[in-house]
Amino acid sequence: MTTPSSQPQRPDIAQDLIQRANAARGNWRGARATATPPQASAALDAALLADRANTQLLERIVSAHGWPGRSLVGDEAARAALTLALHAEHDPRAQDSFLRTVREAAQRHDVTPGQWARLYDRCLARDGKPQLYGTQHHFQPDGELKLHPVQTREQLDARRAQVGLLPYADQLQLLRERLSGKSSSLPAQDDEDDLVLAGTRS
């Protein structure tokens, strides 16, 4: 079992991951907020271009060091690495590879089970399959937040508890508060990376 150190082994990698994850969130926030077709298309293209570059970087890091979890880069940067993996839907092969390495890291306690669950759900949603842990959402045309389909909804909160996630109703409330600007600090498992810009990732 890996015991996370108080200081990351690679603060240089940690800083880069954090900066890239923050920029990626900003890119997609801007793409969601841009309504005029020409500007919306440009914002989407820019977000996807950055995601592709981040995926390539993350692949190089994983190849050289394994998954950048707590022991290598610290908690914040480990969450940032997951953000980049969640944004890798344009490359299913890479995203599936990330999922395998995140699962191995979770078994070593170098990432949380909830982080693995979010990426697992993202891969299922990407492939048009019902998700298991209810972490992935998208906006409907009317602006309402919608949960991607879920397997056996009545057992959802029990599954979420197994991987350390909040009950779904609590997650949804926190997510709505962040999107409305009422809350700027949410638990990592509930952050806006779980929003998919539906119909735009390929």
**161 φ/ψ angles, rounded to the nearest 5 degrees:** -60, -35
- In this prediction, residue 185 carries a pLDDT of 52
Task: State pLDDT tens for residues 145-195.
Answer: 889 999 999 999 999 999 999 999 998 888 888 777 665 554 443 456 776
Q: How confident is the model at residue 139 (pLDDT cuts 50, 70, 90)?
A: confident
- Domain range enclosing 76: 11-196
pTM: 0.86
Interval 101-130 mean pLDDT: 96
Can you spell out the DSSP letters for 117-152? HHHHHHHHHHTT--BSS---EEE-TTS-EEEPPBSS
Instruction: Centre a 10 Å sphere on the Cβ of residue 45 and count the other Cβ atoms it contains.
Output: 11
User: Would 2 be classed as within a structural domain?
Assistant: no
> 65-79: buried (b, 16+ CB within 10 Å) or exposed (e) per residue?
eebbbbbbbbebbbb
User: Would 201 be classed as within a structural domain?
Assistant: no
User: Would 5 be classed as within a structural domain?
Assistant: no
Average pLDDT of the chain is: 86
User: Would 100 be classed as within a structural domain?
Assistant: yes
Q: How confident is the model at residue 2 (pLDDT cuts 50, 70, 90)?
A: very low
User: Would 64 be classed as within a structural domain?
Assistant: yes
- Split into its structural domains, the chain has a count of 1
User: Would 56 be classed as within a structural domain?
Assistant: yes
Angle at the Cα of 157 from the Cα atoms of 195 and 163, rounded to 5 degrees: 75
User: Would 183 be classed as within a structural domain?
Assistant: yes
User: Would 156 be classed as within a structural domain?
Assistant: yes
